[in-house]
Structure 1
Amino acid sequence: MKISILTLFPDMFNVFNHSIMGRAITNKIIDLELFDIRDFTLDKHRKVDDYPYGGGAGMVMAAQPVVDCIKHVKKKNKGKVIFLGPRGKTFNQNMAKDLSSEEELIFLCGHYEGIDERIYEYIDEEISLGDFVLTGGEAACIPIVDCICRLIPGVLSNSESFKDESFYDGLLEYPQYTRPLNYEGMKVPEILMSGHHENIRKWRKYKSIEITEQRRPDLLEKYQLSAEEKKIIKEFRDKL
């Protein structure tokens, strides 16, 4: 996948030089390009913002440098332009799955009090990380790009598979344990030591549903329990 990020702070994305993302870039599974919006301003002082018409606090990102940057990037990247802003739909795993199937994407990071409204003419989609305020679009862009990229085939190794992770199938993940078997009196559940793969699978499914019910009931309300899952729930709760 080719990803272009338009930002005022390119150095913030050095995080992608490490770990799984760094490996994906080195292996050319991900082609990541950063573009400094200041490089496209016509202002001799490299300004990219100005006071809002009508008054008000703060500054607004000007149309000229942002639009010129988008037009430049579009010459090599034909993907949809995604703006990280508060008006957008809240990002979730289903959106990540959809976007991971794209071949090219362009992300625009906002700043200050927002962007000139006319820039929206060049934006295809707006995404919000959540109902809270960040210092800039970069802070939202990093986790969103990371979430999308790890779903691309080849980015994760088999040992790092995302199939059983929280949110992938709409539920939170089941509990995980590693050695030692007994830590300060807290023991690993016996079923995980049984070697009975089918029983372990059912236990994990039940625990996934139970934890989701306890901690994120809103997710469980949207989740359609299968006939098998209902049977698993009954089986384990009958033992209580």
Structure 2
Amino acid sequence: MPHLSGGRIGFGAMQLPTSPEGRESSVRLLRRAVELGVPLIDTAYLYGGGANEELIAEALHPYPADVLITTKVGVSGSGQLSDWRLDGRPDSLRRQVDGCLQRLRLERIELLQLHRVDPSVPLADQVGTLAELAAEGKAARIGLSEVSVDELEQARAITGIATVQNRYNFADRTHEPVLRACGRLGITFLPWRPLAHEGGEVEAVAAELSVTAAQVVLAWLLTRSPVMLPIPGTASVSHLEENLAAGRLDLTTDHLSRLAAGSP
């Protein structure tokens, strides 16, 4: 598990506007996130074709020592998301990583993640290339995204895996076996889309505690495993502050029992 200072709720930067009219507010939000002790900021080459990475560098470089900046590679394209495709070819991964380093103004990416496994390229070639890049000093740790337990084990046979970033939330626990495996192995689990939920008991508990439903599901996520580190994203400073406050929300045994009874 990467050494992380601060709390257990990170920040997903995907939603931040990078356009000239929205850039100033995005920079303010990123700096506020650091002020509030966010331990990890997640970006990716896919997010605006690197524009999101450039925004983070503009706002935060030189990066504070207690904030881990992570990015993801393994896709190619331009323009709309529909125009992008999985691309885990070794030469392409190398080009993508070099681009990430330049945009983030780094010599080494502290956590480099494979955005998706490209089914047209052997997993060993994709993970092996990232391991080679780490050996060359271009990455400190390697992570995976949207993988199965079997794929995680295959990757671990090649190199150490620090993180797994899979979709996981109150409404969708498809990757519960992966979360359990990460807990057993001490691998940090970064659930994306962590705020998704279905009303009912979540709303009832939120009303009882005078908090938001988003805060309840984030607090609930933190109870699921000690390796859990949600990365909710927002373009609103007030929502950022609300999300991070969820790390101080204590759900009682009764709350957890009621949430379990009302879960999918």
Same-fold call, TM > 0.5? no
Give the TM-score normalised by structure 2. Answer: 0.30
Looking at CA atoms only, which structure, 1 or 2, has the larger radius of gyration? 1
| Higher-strand-fraction structure | 1
